[in-house]
Amino acid sequence: MQSVPLPIFKAREPSTALTGLPLLRLGFRPFYLCGAMLATLGVPLWIAMFLGWIALAPSLAPLLWHVHEMIFGFAVSIIVGFLMTAGKAWTGLATPRGPALGALALLWLGARVAAFTGPYPLYAALDFALLPIVAVILTRLLLRSGNHRNLPLAGLLGLLSCANLMFHLSVLGVLQLPALTPLHAALALIVMIECVMAGRVIPAFTMSVTPGLKLAAPVWLERLTLGSTGLGLGLWVFSAPALPSAGVLALAGTLQLHRALNWRPWVARQRPILWILHAAYAWIPLALGLLAAAQAGWVPVSAGVHALGLGATGGLIIGMITRTARGHTGRTLQPSRVEVLAYALAMGAAALRVLLPLMLPSMYVAALLGAALAWSGAFAIYLWRFTPWLMQMRLDGKDG
C-alpha cells in the first residue's frame, strides 16, 4: 500500500498588529486606567491632607497639588488616551503602541510618584515632558494624513503645555505669577476642548439613536457660542474688570444653555451612555453663570471652578471612557447597571461639591466628604469593571 504524504502545514506567524501586551496596543488602554486610578485615589488623599487626617505632603502646597493633579494628572491622561486612539481613526496611521506607548504611560506615572518622592525640579521636568511629546506626535500624524480639521486640537495641547510650564516656573519662583492662574487657564483650555468635541459627538450620537431627528445650528451661532465662551473664560483667568467679565460670561452661559437644549437632551433619557454626556455638558452653562455671579461677589469662585472640573469635565470623562472603551474592546454600547451607578455618582459628586455649600454653607465639610466618596466611587467602579477588559484582547479579535 502506497503511503500518501501528509500535507505540510506551516505555522502562521502572528500578525504584527496583534503581538505584544493588549494593554499597550492603543492609547486609551493604559491612559484611561491611569486617569481612573488617580481619580479614585487622588481626591480622597487630598481631602485627608486638607482635613489634617494624614501628615503626607507633596513637594508643593497641597492645594496646588490637588488642582494641578486633577488637571494635568487626571484630565490630561484621559485626553492623551483619547487623542492617541482617535488619532489613529482620524488619520489611518499608527499611533504609539508597545514599548513606545508604555514609555509614555511610565512618564506620566513617574511624574505622579515624583510629586511625593523627589525634589520639585524632577517632578516639574517629568510632569511637563508628556504633553509636548504627544502634541508633536499628533501634529505629525495630522499633517502626514492631510487631516487639517483636527490640527487645532494639537494646538490646544501646545497651549496646555505652555500653561503647565508657567505653573511650574511660578512655583519655582522664576515667574512672578500666581500659581493658580495657569491652572485656571489650563482648565479653561480643557473646557474649550470639551465644547468643540461635544459639539461633534453629542448631536451625532443623539441623532443616531433617534430616527428622523435632525440637529443643526447656524454656523454663526456656533462660532458666537464658542467665541464668547473662550473670551469669557479668558477674561476670568486673567482677572479682567468684573463688569465686562461678568457680562461676557453671562452671555456665554446663555448661549451654551441654548446649545445644550438644542441637542434635545430629553430624547436620551432611556439611554444612560448618552444621557450622561448631556447631563455633564449641562454643567458648562451653569458653571459660566456661577463664574459670572462670582465676578459680582455673589458666590465663591470655587463654585464655578468645581462645576467645570467635577460636573462638566468629570462627567464627560466618565461618559466617554466607558463608551470608547466598550467600543474599542468590541463590546456593545449598552452600559451595565453598575456603570449607570458610576454615572450617577459622578453627577452626585458635582452636585454635592457645588450646590450643597451654596445652599447650606454650614455643611461645607460634609459636602466635601460626600463629594469625595461619590467621585472616588464612580471611578473605582470604572476600574473594577474595565480593568480586565483593557488588559485583554478585543472580543472580536481585531487590533486595538
Domain boundaries, the chain: 24-177, 213-392
Q: Which residue has the cell 441654548?
A: 258
Three cell numbers, residue 238: 486673567
The C-alpha atoms of residue 88 and residue 330 are separated, in whole angstroms, by 16
**CB-neighbour burial class of residue 331 (10 A; exposed 0-12, middle 13-18, buried 19+):** middle
Instruction: Report whether pLDDT(184) > 60.
Output: yes
Instruction: Report whether pLDDT(61) > 50.
Output: yes
Three cell numbers, residue 383: 476600574
Q: Which of 140-144, 183-187, 213-217 has the lowest mean pLDDT?
A: 213-217
- Which tens digits make up the pLDDT trace of 215-260? 888 999 999 999 999 999 999 999 999 999 999 999 999 999 999 9
pLDDT given for residue 17 in this prediction: 52
The C-alpha atoms of residue 17 and residue 394 are separated, in whole angstroms, by 12
Q: What angle do CA 236, 238, 242 make, to 5 degrees?
A: 50
The C-alpha atoms of residue 198 and residue 145 are separated, in whole angstroms, by 23
Residue 192's nearest CA partner among 324, 88, 308, 304 is 308
Three cell numbers, residue 339: 456603570
Q: Quote the radius of gyration of the chain (alpha carbons, Å).
A: 22
> Average pLDDT of the chain?
92
The C-alpha atoms of residue 111 and residue 132 are separated, in whole angstroms, by 15
The C-alpha atoms of residue 170 and residue 179 are separated, in whole angstroms, by 6
What number of other Cβ atoms are within 10 A of residue 250's Cβ? 19
pLDDT given for residue 6 in this prediction: 38
pLDDT given for residue 16 in this prediction: 46
Instruction: Report whether pLDDT(5) > 80.
Output: no
pLDDT given for residue 14 in this prediction: 40
Give residue 70's Cα distance to chain centre.
Answer: 9
The C-alpha atoms of residue 382 and residue 29 are separated, in whole angstroms, by 13
Whether the Cβ atoms of residue 309 and residue 316 lie closer than 8 Å to each other: no
The C-alpha atoms of residue 267 and residue 292 are separated, in whole angstroms, by 30
Residue 318's nearest CA partner among 284, 345, 290 is 345
Q: How many CA atoms lie within 13 A of 12 on its CB side?
A: 4
The pLDDT of 56-75, averaged and rounded, is 93
- Which tens digits make up the pLDDT trace of 292-349? 999 999 999 999 999 999 999 999 999 999 999 999 999 999 999 999 999 999 999 9
Gap between the terminal Cα atoms of the chain: 52
Neighbouring residues of 201: CB distance < 8 A, sequence distance ≥ 6: 277
The C-alpha atoms of residue 299 and residue 289 are separated, in whole angstroms, by 10
